[in-house]
Structure 1
Amino acid sequence: MSTDTSAPRAKRTDTKRTDTRRRMVVGAAKSIATGGVDAMSLRDLAVQAGVPLGSTYHHFPGGKAQLVDEAVQLIGAQVTTLIDEARTQGTDPVLRVFADRWRRILESSGYAAGCPVVAAAVATDPRHHDVAREVFADWHASLTAALADSGVPADRAGRLARTVVAATEGAVALARAAGTSEPLDEVVEELSSLVESARRR
């Protein structure tokens, strides 16, 4: 009978490494959403993930900059997926799912957290601006396709998609300041009316 346990051990090690990286990326996203990129601390994230600070650079050789970018990309990909999955149900569900994502973040954080992509877009380090720009471009493309699918004229779908992103992100900031999701709900209602008007034309 073989007593070689190297493969299972290697698998456990790889899984643990993946879980640690994931926890740190998710933790970074939450930290950025609450305090911004500049306030995010690798030391604090290492403590939260239960790993030595030195091992942080093993997982993220690029240091804080790499971790920030991966966190922003993770949130960006999650939202893009939500938009794409809702496209088959019409534009209203797309708007709702886009807004519901931020509503959950606002309410679960006691209105302390906002959008980490916006935080990256205004970070002191300009390297993060490119990642934020790419995420916003992905959202814009997905929303443009959803609007076009629902009957919004092609020459207007792109501009309207940009309006949806800008208005929703602004509503998130207003909701944080007000301590209530009401601004977000009102903006989504108006966006829904705007989209319906664009369809009729």
Structure 2
Amino acid sequence: MGKKGFDTKQKMIEVMASLLEGSGYEATGLTELGKETGTPKGSLYFHFPGGKDELTSLAIEYSGKQLNDFFLTVFGKCETPSQAIKQVFHALENRIVSSDFKKGCPIATTAMETAGKSVVVAKACQDAYNLWLKTFESYLVSNGYTPRIAKNLSFSILSLWEGALLLSKLQKSPEPLRMAEKTAESLLKQN
């Protein structure tokens, strides 16, 4: 595949990632993707022989890596885990508020819609969550937490974050994220 083909494929992955975050798997159609990317529907099957599921799994992988890179950047700049978690929650709040509460977690809606339906997509979602958990765990261990506590904290913080994003979207308010941030900071200080 030449550069133009690679660029088209990458654009389709990135646009699909954005559509999935805003609308989820079920509501994201291939016609909409074609309009957003300026490519005919046939291009989808040329670049993604596995169809919508293949494209979706690659879009989820892309979103997962993008957010993980953000976490790594934040962790590299902060002196303490408390500062890092505060920055992560603030960025999530800015993201959801600036999108008028349309965006939140880039994979949560798709994960819920495809669990038990599409093995390929569900695995991509699971892999993204596992990547984030491992990144958080490694960061916490490097800051003096035991591996067991780091693992528990990572699951707890990710659960707080996901639940708060959902409630913030439903309530059209950043308040759930702010409360979850305070709880996450308390968890970090207790251990």
| Greater alpha carbon shift after TM alignment, 125-134 vs 138-147 | 125-134
- State which of 161, 174, 178 in structure 2 corresponds to 1:181: 174
- For normalisation by structure 1, the TM-score amounts to 0.83
Greater length-normalized contact order (CA 8 Å, ≥ 6 residues apart): 2
Q: Does 1:105 align with 2:98?
A: no
Aligned pairs for 1:1-201 within 5 A? 14-88=2-76, 89=78, 90-124=80-114, 125-127=117-119, 128-198=121-191
Between the two proteins, what is the percent identity of the paired residues?
A: 24
* Aligned-partner SS, 2:2: helix
* 1:55, distance to aligned residue in structure 2 (A): 1.4
Q: Distance in 2 between matches of 1:20 and 1:83?
A: 28
The residue type paired with residue 193 of structure 1 is S
The residue type paired with residue 187 of structure 2 is L
Unpaired stretches in structure 1, ≥5 consecutive residues: 1-12
Q: CA 1:92–1:15 in 2, change beyond 3 Å: closer, same or farther? A: farther
The residue type paired with residue 135 of structure 2 is S
Q: CA 1:98–1:39 in 2, change beyond 3 Å: closer, same or farther? A: same
The residue type paired with residue 92 of structure 2 is W
Q: Is residue 20–residue 28 contact of structure 2 (8 Å, CA) maintained in 1?
A: yes
Q: Distance in 2 between matches of 1:77 and 1:61?
A: 23
* 1:146, distance to aligned residue in structure 2 (A): 1.2
- For normalisation by structure 2, the TM-score amounts to 0.87
| Greater alpha carbon shift after TM alignment, 32-41 vs 166-175 | 32-41
Provide runs of 4+ in structure 1 moved above 6 Å.
none
Q: Is residue 53–residue 118 contact of structure 2 (8 Å, CA) maintained in 1?
A: no
* 1:100, distance to aligned residue in structure 2 (A): 4.1
| Greater alpha carbon shift after TM alignment, 149-158 vs 45-54 | 149-158
Q: Distance in 2 between matches of 1:71 and 1:50?
A: 17
Q: CA 1:87–1:116 in 2, change beyond 3 Å: closer, same or farther? A: closer
The residue type paired with residue 41 of structure 2 is L
* Aligned-partner SS, 1:116: coil
Q: Is residue 96–residue 188 contact of structure 1 (8 Å, CA) maintained in 2?
A: yes
Q: CA RMSD in A?
A: 1.9
Q: Is residue 85–residue 181 contact of structure 2 (8 Å, CA) maintained in 1?
A: yes
Q: Distance in 1 between matches of 2:111 and 2:88?
A: 19
Unpaired stretches in structure 2, ≥5 consecutive residues: none
* 1:163, distance to aligned residue in structure 2 (A): 0.4
Q: CA 1:28–1:182 in 2, change beyond 3 Å: closer, same or farther? A: same
* Aligned-partner SS, 2:113: coil
Deviations 1:111-164 (A, max 9, x none): 022323222322243322111111111111110111122222332110110001
Q: Distance in 1 between matches of 2:58 and 2:81?
A: 29
* Structure number with larger C-alpha Rg: 1
The residue type paired with residue 22 of structure 1 is Q
The residue type paired with residue 126 of structure 1 is S
